[in-house]
Structure 1
Amino acid sequence: MTRLRYSFDEARVQRFIAEGRGAGMGASYLPWLQIQDVPSSGRSHRPFGVKSKRVHHLLSDGEWKCFLKLEADTQVEEIREQFPMDRFETFRLAQKLGLRHPRTLDGTPYVMTLDFLVTIRMPGGQRLVPYTFKYDPETLSPREQELMDITRAFWHSHAMELQLIDQGFFDEPFNLNYDSVRGYYDISQFAFIEVVDVSGLVQGLLQEVLAQSEASLAKSCRMLAGSFHTTPNVVYQIAMHLVARGSLRVDLSSPVGLELLPMHAYATTPAALEHWA
């Protein structure tokens, strides 16, 4: 039963195509593979993307941690996971390389997927970057190396260089810190929005940063809460919103809790000040 559940035949491929798998952009994108379609190598994850406004399908802890690092990058505009490559193109490339292409149970070309196709905002416009994640690239089996060679050739044919990332791409303190702030990316539905001077609190926080205060973020939140007749928790949530949006920059790899860091550990930009003016 398990083998049949995760096996692919041509009928299943055609059903995925009809469902729109691998198509769309932003909130409408549907990954080719979803967590119920394949056995995961480790724990699978279904986080709601704060930028994409949709559920992402990540098949392992490693993919989840890479996703956090990519989503936190302010230049990253979109992350499309489990992105399908044209199977007839990968089949031709495999033949050219003298490699065996994966096949369905019916013998037709299997749809190979990329871990992440990332849209990055550049000064001259947008750029697509293909990423593949491997826990330890040095221990790939010969077959795994062949499949990566096909994938690399596919993206090279589209004038893109495949980026191989491993466990060195992320670190645990970063994962913990960013995962704690990403939920504050959009605070428009938070209860305090209608009753608190959010703009005034934002300016107060930014001024504390510009003053290079020695006070911790927690202490600054208590001080501003008293001035604006609200609670320190509300001020902290607004501060985390600024971090999630990139208006406040801080080393998310810090092993010290963000609330304990002094305000001079944070930084802002003239653009952020102008935006929140």
Structure 2
Amino acid sequence: MSDTDKPLDPSDEKRLKTRGSGMGKDYIPFICIQDLSSSGESIRIPGHTTGRAHHLLSGIELGAFIIFDWNPQTRDIREQFPIPVSDTLTICQQLGIKHPQLRGKLKVVTTDLLIDFNSGRKMALAVKPVSTLSDERTIEKLQIEKTYWEGCGVEWKLFTDREISKPMKENLLWLRPALHDAPEQTVIDREEVKSLLERLSEYAGLTATRICARLDDQYGVEPGSHLQTLRYGIARHLITAPIQTSYHDWKCSELQQTSQAITSVGAYAN
């Protein structure tokens, strides 16, 4: 029996009725973490860009997600996005490879992250560990995705565990709480950020996090106040920082006030 004559996996057929469509807060991923027999590294995390919970299936997906969720040019992020089976069947025939299936039933091919930018540009991202890229079947599945998205005129890229450093991931996770202000919280404005940077400028070669603690004592404010302003300022792109270096090591001289929002946070957001 050829792949075109095989039925679709019943669980995938059921999911397609309610998942994998919509935009923003209304989108439901084709695969949710509760669908997995073992959660592993999977995580459910609130999205700043979309205002909904995102279902990420690995630590590498989390790394890719937080890069784009912090980018002010990102308009939407859709994870575990399904590709129409009719298209993937045609692509597999063209490439001469076997369509993904389980126990003789066709499986829907998904793209890990589909990013929409404010400019109207889209990017499809396949997220994989470098260690899996020597596997022939993994490469074949990636080729299916690549062929589909390029045929749609959408840029397709591969994101591996080499694309985000451990310090950068740590920094972006540290910044995330400042992206989700509770309604009752006082919003830190640009003038507070400016005042903080003026105070830090007097300690150019010293570590910013330590100086923030010293400034709390000096100005008689609640412990953590200056660090909170620093975190908020960087999270909201009011302050530029060496994001590839651990925030514990940032020098006061490396922190600068921005005149406008940063347009990208890495090669994958350019």
Match of 2:79 among 78, 81, 86: 81
* Matched residues, number: 254
Verify the 8 A CA contact 1:130 1:160 in the aligned structure 2: yes
- List aligned pairs for 1:1-150, cutoff 5 A: 10-19=9-18, 21-39=19-37, 42-103=40-101, 107=105, 109-121=106-118, 125-136=119-130, 139-150=133-144
The runs of 5 or more residues in structure 2 that have no matched partner are 1-6, 262-270
Verify the 8 A CA contact 1:9 1:106 in the aligned structure 2: no
For residue 262 of structure 1, what is the amino acid of its counterpart? K
Which residue in 1 is equivalent to 2:254? Answer: 265
Which residue in 2 is equivalent to 1:169? Answer: 163
Within 1, Cα distance between the matches of 2:103 and 2:25?
32
For residue 172 of structure 1, what is the amino acid of its counterpart? K
Match of 2:222 among 227, 231, 238: 231
Which residue in 2 is equivalent to 1:4? Answer: none
Shift of 1:253: 2.1
Within 1, Cα distance between the matches of 2:242 and 2:116?
23
Shift of 1:81: 0.9
For residue 234 of structure 2, what is the amino acid of its counterpart? V
Within 2, Cα distance between the matches of 1:149 and 1:41?
27
Shift of 1:265: 0.8
Within 2, Cα distance between the matches of 1:40 and 1:60?
12
Within 1, Cα distance between the matches of 2:137 and 2:99?
10
Within 1, Cα distance between the matches of 2:149 and 2:255?
38
Within 2, Cα distance between the matches of 1:248 and 1:187?
18
Structure 1 stretches of 4+ moved >6 Å: 209-212
Shift of 1:206: 4.5
> Comparing both structures, which one devotes a greater share of its residues to strand?
2
Shift of 1:45: 1.1
For residue 144 of structure 1, what is the amino acid of its counterpart? T
The runs of 5 or more residues in structure 1 that have no matched partner are 1-7, 273-277
For residue 266 of structure 1, what is the amino acid of its counterpart? L
Structure number with greater CO (CA < 8 Å, separation at least 6) is: 2
Within 2, Cα distance between the matches of 1:47 and 1:130?
20
For residue 168 of structure 1, what is the amino acid of its counterpart? R
For residue 52 of structure 2, what is the amino acid of its counterpart? R
Within 1, Cα distance between the matches of 2:170 and 2:142?
30
Deviation per residue, 1:68-112 (Å, 9 max, x gap): 2332333333221111111111111111222211236573x4211
Which residue in 1 is equivalent to 2:240? Answer: 249
Verify the 8 A CA contact 1:79 1:118 in the aligned structure 2: yes
The normalised TM-score by structure 1 is 0.79
